[in-house]
Chains A and B, each alone.
Chain A
Amino acid sequence: MPSGLAQAGDNDVADVVYVDDTYFLPPKWPCNAGSGAAVDDPWHLPSAKGACDPMPFVLSNNTRIGTAVQVALVARQCQGFEEDNQMIDTFHTMQAKLEATPHLLRLGRLFSETVLVQVGDDEIYLTFEKGHLVEVAAGPSRKTPWRFALRTDAEALAQFWQPLPAPGFHDIFGLLKIGRGSIDGDILCLVKNLRFFKEFMALPRAERKDAA
């Protein structure tokens, strides 16, 4: 490792090294497409974690965590993400949208917790670090501690994400009120970060065209 580089030891999705404010994955190119992926397509990565030789990937974000999110987005593809899991896909889209929403990152700057979102029988573990969503992991998992959980069903969540949801579907507490959701765990932690989490959960909701 060149002098001046340091290991980002707490990131378990990929080896990340950084110099000052520039971060990159160790340069191993081309991608070893063990599952038959095209080697000239850096976004088409093999299925087994660790089987991928990451492409050169230099990021220039000013925050290490913001970079970790982008690294995770790449690493996710290395892990053979299940393309048919639309809900996981949605949360990855939310992950990217959160990164593009500066005011939410500011609101969440003290929020570093893992949240369980249960949609029907599917468990999704969302790990936030300082407001950034650094990992979206499919459950079930008995080993993953979480701070609080939001449990609902896919149809309710689809309605929640409508631009103009029906009464009760317009807020996570509304889901509770109409019997389509529950919240448990450290609820005070949720309340302390309520605006952040509610706005994060509403990220897929398309903005109304006529909104003032």
Chain B
Amino acid sequence: MSIEPITGRYLTVTVEGALRRIYFEEAGQGRPVLCLHTAGADTRQWRHLMNDADITATNRMIAFDLPWHGKSLPPEGFETEEYLLTTEAYIETVLAVIEGLGLEHPVLAGCSMGGRIALQLAALHPEKFSGFIAIEASDFQPAWYDIDWFHRPDAHGGEMGAALVSANISPFAPNADRWNTLWMFMQSGPGVFRGDLSFYTKDDSLIARLGDINTDKTPVHLIAGAYDLTCTPEDAKRTADAIDGATLAVMDELGHFPMSEHPHGFRPFFVDALSRMPAGDSA
């Protein structure tokens, strides 16, 4: 028997003028590191790093489920609402969580659409953070699929979504971790993956903002997996090249969900990324 050090609680904040009950988890103490999950998934993607005693010895690892994801409920009235995530709503949610939890200049680590938002925040609200780790993140990714496939009454969007995103998982990923990763997509609520992809594949506003990022004040480190079909290392390099001072690491044997598809393989890249971030002022 074992009990993990991760603890989970709920936080209620206001986003877009309405209350959001948000589930968050944390482990460790020291420099706050706020972690953002990918589209169609939840905080469980970060559980391996949050259970890593060496990392949590000096870092307060925090992850939260976006509203509509994991254990965070959709807002009241969702039953008649079409879920479509926007850059603005995502940014407002991250800032509300930081304020609600009283985090002082956390490192922001996001994967996929979480990485995209990390770069948006690096451009728009750098004063709130100490640095940015953008994993499988790029300036813009148009869809190579029809996002409407994943929300329809005659098929299971979660199963289809999982089958699609498995294309982004490395063959080096341990089988159990591969399927744990896919299970989150299978569990995703109806229309949620589609609503996330809508933002991810249609909003290209970051492209024009990359030049605004000042890495002298807040370092930006990108990490990309060679097996990621959605955000390829070339996409990440193009993005890093547009940010003066940004650094990039390419993982030859990993894919789009490195922290959950292959935790052991991802760990050194994440530790390296943390070492590039300021020590933090709340430790």
What residues make up the interface of A, taking CB atoms closer than 8 Å to B?
163-165, 167-168, 170-174, 176-177, 187-188, 191-192, 194-195, 198, 208, 211-212
| B:139-198 near A, CB below 8 Å | 144-146, 149, 154-155, 159-160, 162-164, 166-167, 170-172, 174-177
Known contacts A167-B226, A212-B177; 20 further A-B pairs (Cβ under 8 A): A165-B171, A167-B227, A170-B170, A170-B171, A170-B227, A171-B166, A172-B167, A173-B229, A174-B167, A176-B144, A177-B144, A177-B229, A191-B155, A191-B163, A192-B154, A192-B155, A192-B160, A194-B160, A194-B164, A212-B176
Q: What residues of chain B lie closer than 8 Å to A191, measured between beta carbons?
A: 145, 149, 155, 160, 163-164
The chain B residue sitting closest to A107, CB to CB, is: B159
Tell me the smallest distance from the CB of A157 to a CB of chain B, in Å: 15
The chain B residue sitting closest to A177, CB to CB, is: B229
The chain B residue sitting closest to A165, CB to CB, is: B171
6 closest Cβ pairs, A-B complex: A212-B174, A194-B163, A171-B167, A195-B163, A173-B167, A167-B226
Q: What residues of chain A lie closer than 8 Å to B162, measured between beta carbons?
A: 195
Q: What residues of chain A lie closer than 8 Å to B149, measured between beta carbons?
A: 188, 191
Q: What residues of chain A lie closer than 8 Å to B146, measured between beta carbons?
A: 187-188
Tell me the smallest distance from the CB of A199 to a CB of chain B, in Å: 9
A40 to B229, CA, bound (A): 54
Q: Which of B144, B160, B170, B177 has the most CB of A within 10 A?
A: B160
Query: Assuming the A-B contacts A167-B227, A192-B155, A194-B164, are A211 and B144 also in contact, with contact meaning beta carbons closer than 8 angstroms in the complex?
Result: no
> Please, how many residues of chain B have a CB less than 8 angstroms from a CB on the other chain?
23
Tell me the smallest distance from the CB of B149 to a CB of chain A, in Å: 5
A168 to B230, CA, bound (A): 11
- Whether A198 pairs with B171 at a CB distance below 8 angstroms is no
Q: What residues of chain A lie closer than 8 Å to B166, measured between beta carbons?
A: 171, 195, 198
Query: Assuming the A-B contacts A191-B149, A212-B176, are A164 and B171 also in contact, with contact meaning beta carbons closer than 8 angstroms in the complex?
Result: yes
Tell me the smallest distance from the CB of A125 to a CB of chain B, in Å: 23
A143 to B63, CA, bound (A): 56
Q: Which of B149, B162, B164, B171 has the most CB of A within 10 A?
A: B171
A211 to B229, CA, bound (A): 22
| B:58-76 near A, CB below 8 Å | none
- Whether A198 pairs with B177 at a CB distance below 8 angstroms is no
- Whether B174 pairs with A211 at a CB distance below 8 angstroms is yes
Query: Assuming the A-B contacts A167-B227, A174-B167, are A212 and B175 also in contact, with contact meaning beta carbons closer than 8 angstroms in the complex?
Result: yes
A51 to B174, CA, bound (A): 51
A194 to B185, CA, bound (A): 14
List, sorted by A's number, 26 A–B pairs whose CB atoms are closer than 8 Å. A164-B171, A164-B172, A167-B227, A168-B229, A170-B227, A171-B166, A171-B229, A173-B144, A173-B167, A173-B229, A174-B167, A174-B229, A176-B144, A188-B146, A188-B149, A191-B163, A192-B154, A192-B155, A194-B163, A195-B159, A198-B163, A198-B166, A208-B171, A211-B174, A212-B174, A212-B175
A164 to B172, CA, bound (A): 7
Q: What residues of chain B lie closer than 8 Å to A208, measured between beta carbons?
A: 171
Tell me the smallest distance from the CB of B48 to a CB of chain A, in Å: 13
Tell me the smallest distance from the CB of B211 to a CB of chain A, in Å: 28
| B:110-142 near A, CB below 8 Å | none
A173 to B165, CA, bound (A): 10
A138 to B167, CA, bound (A): 28
Q: What residues of chain B lie closer than 8 Å to A171, measured between beta carbons?
A: 166-167, 229
